[in-house]
Amino acid sequence: MDRRELFGALGAIGAAPVCGSLPTAAAAHGEKADGPMSAPHFHFCGIHMAKKNPNVQFITQHYCAAHTGGPEGDVFQCVLFDGTGKNAKLIGVEYLIPDEAYRKLPDDEKKYWHAHTYEVLGGGLIAPGMTPKEEMDFMKVVIKTWGKAWHTWPDPKTAVPVGEPLLIWSLMGDGQADEKLLARRDSEFKVDTAKVRAAREKEFGLAAPNVAPPKDVNAVGRMWTDTGEDKPTPKKP
C-alpha cells in the first residue's frame, strides 16, 4: 500500500473526509494548525471481537489518517470509538499495514495482527461517508492489509476505562458475527450486509474466506483458509 495507491483509491483522501482539522493551542493564538490532527481523515465501521473470547463483540467506528513515507509503505492510524456522536467514547486504537510489511514481521509479533479479507468480502466493513465507487476502491486497498487493534476501554458500559486492554481480532467466516449486533449496525447506517457482500464478491471475483476463530491468544491469523496454501477461492458464477 504505497502513498500513490492509497490516495488514488480515496480520491486523494479528501474525497470523503468526515472531520476537518482540530485546532491546536498555537492555532488559538492565530497561528496555522499543522499538527497530526490537521489533515483530513476518513471513517469506516466494522464489527470487532476480542481475540481471547470471540463472543465479545463490538460495533466499532474507525477514524483514520495515513502515516506516509515509511520504509514499509503507508500505515493507517485509527482511533476507535463506540459511536459517531460528539460524546462517543474513545475505546481504542488500530494500525493497518500492507501484507508485504506483515510478512516481514517476526513470528512472535504476527499473533497480534488480524486479516481483513472476510470483513471486506463478507460485507462487514463499510465506509458510510463514501460513495459506492469510493467505498469499493477503498476496500480494494483494505483487503490487502492486516490490523493490530487494542480496545483500551474494554467495556464501554463502564463509567471510566477499567480493566486490561483487549486484543482485537476480526470476523473471518460465516456464522461468527453476533447477528443482532450486525442487524443493529445495518439499521443504523441503512445498509444490507448481504447485498454489500454480493456486490463485493462479484467485483473481486472471490468467495468470502472461511477461517475459524483463533483457538487461543497466541494463534497466528490467516487470510483465506484454515489449512493448506493460504490463497483465495474464486467465486463460482
Q: What total of structural domains would you count in the chain? A: 1
In-domain check, residue 235: no
In-domain check, residue 152: yes
pLDDT, one tens digit for every residue, the chain (237 residues): 444 455 444 443 333 344 333 334 444 555 556 777 676 788 999 999 999 999 999 999 999 998 887 887 789 899 999 999 999 999 999 999 999 999 999 999 999 999 999 999 999 999 998 999 999 999 999 999 999 999 999 999 999 999 999 999 999 999 999 999 999 999 999 999 999 999 999 999 999 999 999 999 999 999 999 999 999 999 987
Q: All 3 cell numbers of residue 182?
A: 450486525
Three-class SS string for the chain?
A: CCHHHHHHHCCCCCCCCCECCCCCCCHHHCCCCCCCCCCCEEEEEEEEEECCEEEEEEEEEEEEEEECCCCCCCEEEEEEECCCCCCCCEEEEEEEEEHHHHHCCCHHHHCCCEECHHHHHCCCCECCCCCHHHHHHHHHHHCCEEEEEEECCCCCCCCCCCCCCEEEEECCCCCCCCHHHHHHHHHHHCCCHHHHHHHHHHHHCECCCCCCCCCCCCCCCCCCCCCCCCCCCECCC
Phi-psi region of 7 (alpha: psi -120 to 50; beta: other; left: phi over 0): alpha
Instruction: Judge whether 45 and 191 are in contact, CB under 8 Å.
Output: no
pLDDT of residue 236: 85
In-domain check, residue 126: yes
In-domain check, residue 25: no
pLDDT of residue 72: 74
pLDDT of residue 36: 73
pLDDT of residue 37: 66
Q: All 3 cell numbers of residue 136?
A: 469499493
In-domain check, residue 216: no
Looking at the DSSP bridge assignments, the partners of residue 77 are: 65, 95
CA distances from 191 to 32, 170, 178, 188 (A): 39, 20, 16, 8
pLDDT of residue 29: 52
pLDDT of residue 2: 46
In-domain check, residue 21: no
Q: What is the pTM of this model?
A: 0.87
Give the domain extent around 110. 3-13+41-204
Cα dihedral 85, 18, 185, 216 sign = negative
In-domain check, residue 228: no
In-domain check, residue 141: yes
